[in-house]
Structure 1
Amino acid sequence: MTVGLAIVPAQRRIWYAVRGQGAFTADIEGDRLVRPRPLRVGQPPSAFAQCTVGVLPPLAMIPPAHRSQVDRLAARALVTDWSVHAALLVAGGELDMAVQVGGKVWDYAPLSLIVQEAGGTFSGDSGQGHPVTGTAVFACDDRTRLAACAVLRGR
């Protein structure tokens, strides 16, 4: 994959990345992109307990098959609300990590490139790269991602 794109029309915003060229966000005005800004993940938290994480779907809607997995994560990190897909907030440095359960490869493909081009990391919950289905982790750095994978897998 060489291009990733996410659009939130209601907020008139777009996030995009081109492999090797970075990740950006811009506002949409009519048929134009204005005020493009580079995206960069934030500094990693000093401890996993301080990690801010967005969980998708929202906690109240987590399917029973993933409930214990997400509960383990919520007990060890700071689960935070989000206004757009939490992975986009990771790319912009607003969250340390995003975890999505029940997704498919097409859900993760554009977001993973945007996060990686912003300096972050991505994998499935067992640490595998693409293609990923099921649970995925988007993080500001490898240490945070690997710690989340361990928690999600019950370690």
Structure 2
Amino acid sequence: MPTSSYNDDLGLAHLLADSAAQIGTSRFRASDLRVSSKPDMTEVSDADTTIEEVLRSTLARARPRDGIFGEEYGDNPGASGRKWVIDPIDATRNYVRGVPIWATLIALFDRGEPVVGVVSAPALHRRWWAMKGAGAFAGRDQRAGKRIQVSKVAKLADASVSISSITGWTKLDRQGAMLGLLHEAWRERGFGDFYSYCLLAEGALDIAAEPEVALWDLAPLALIVEEAGGTFTDLRGRPGPDGGTALATNGLLHEQALERLKIRET
């Protein structure tokens, strides 16, 4: 399918992001925001559920044959071979604490391949997006977007690395490996969640990694990083956003970072 056939889908993804931004912004730092814990003990707010409900309703009208997979309401397979993947609020813990680093993540997969991705961070007045084969862009909105590219840093000693937290790496028995990588690098930061990957796509960071993630956490980010010229795999080196772990780099540093962090097959 030619890239141009996804133009309307990219436009729809931006409209979905607009709707999500209105809801998310209106509930951000609201005194009556309702927050509860899901069975996996992660937090969910009324903004998360409302955003996903609204986006699902819009997609049901605009793309009735497409499937939808969302963090809050699960999987509706659809009949078209296409699927929209939604994270209504990525970084919910930031959101509920009043930290402005949160975003709505929207991606379209066509026969298993991500072809459209939009990340909308309204509290930062920033949006990132990509379409397969058409490059990656960032700006306040689609009309004000500028093309973005990853950095050209080629040595770990010159690299800036971002992770969500160090504690999660203990589950993979890779905490020591990550600490070793951070010591080798020029600079380490904990921007976390979507923001690490978006900054990497802009060339502001060189390596981003997470030890435990779901598809909805990464669905548009892998495409944005790759369309910006970077490389996106899991910690076993397999490309794509569905491996349960993540390693994104500017491409030049990928093999070096993967060698230090790789989960070995047993």
Bin for the TM-score computed over the shorter chain: 0.7 to 0.9
Q: What is the CA–CA distance in structure 2 between the aligned matches of 1:68 and 1:5, rounded to whole Å? A: 34
**Among candidates 108, 112, 119, match of residue 229 of structure 2:** 119
Structure (1 or 2) with the larger CA radius of gyration: 2
- Hey, what does 1:10 align to over in structure 2? 123
Shift of 1:9: 1.5
Q: What is the CA–CA distance in structure 1 between the aligned matches of 2:254 and 2:117, rounded to whole Å? A: 21
Greater Cα offset, 72-81 or 110-119:
72-81
**Among candidates 126, 139, 145, match of residue 254 of structure 2:** 145
TM-score (norm 2): 0.50
Q: What is the CA–CA distance in structure 1 between the aligned matches of 2:256 and 2:169, rounded to whole Å? A: 23
**Amino acid in the other structure paired with 1:144:** L
Q: What is the CA–CA distance in structure 2 between the aligned matches of 1:87 and 1:94, rounded to whole Å? A: 10
Runs of 4+ in 1 over 4 A off after TM superposition: none
Gaps of 5+ in 1: none
Question: Which structure features the higher share of helix residues?
Answer: 2
Question: Which structure features the higher share of strand residues?
Answer: 1
- Hey, what does 2:170 align to over in structure 1? 64
1:123-155 deviation line (CA, Å, top 9, x unaligned): 1112111353332111111x4111111111389
Q: What is the CA–CA distance in structure 1 between the aligned matches of 2:125 and 2:191, rounded to whole Å? A: 16
Shift of 1:34: 4.1
**Amino acid in the other structure paired with 1:11:** L
What is the RMSD computed on CA atoms of the aligned residues? 2.2
Q: What is the CA–CA distance in structure 2 between the aligned matches of 1:154 and 1:16, rounded to whole Å? A: 30
TM-score (norm 1): 0.83
**Amino acid in the other structure paired with 1:3:** V
Gaps of 5+ in 2: 1-113
Residue 198 of structure 2 aligns to a residue whose secondary structure is helix
Q: What is the CA–CA distance in structure 2 between the aligned matches of 1:135 and 1:79, rounded to whole Å? A: 19
Shift of 1:80: 2.4
**Among candidates 115, 120, 134, match of residue 244 of structure 2:** 134
Q: What is the CA–CA distance in structure 2 between the aligned matches of 1:140 and 1:153, rounded to whole Å? A: 17
**Amino acid in the other structure paired with 1:36:** G
Q: What is the CA–CA distance in structure 1 between the aligned matches of 2:225 and 2:240, rounded to whole Å? A: 14
**Amino acid in the other structure paired with 1:139:** T
Shift of 1:63: 5.2
Residue 71 of structure 1 aligns to a residue whose secondary structure is helix
Shift of 1:21: 0.6
Q: What is the CA–CA distance in structure 1 between the aligned matches of 2:143 and 2:178, rounded to whole Å? A: 37
**Number of residue pairs aligned between Structure 1 and Structure 2:** 147
- Residue 22 (str. 1) matches residue 135 (str. 2): yes
Identity %: 30
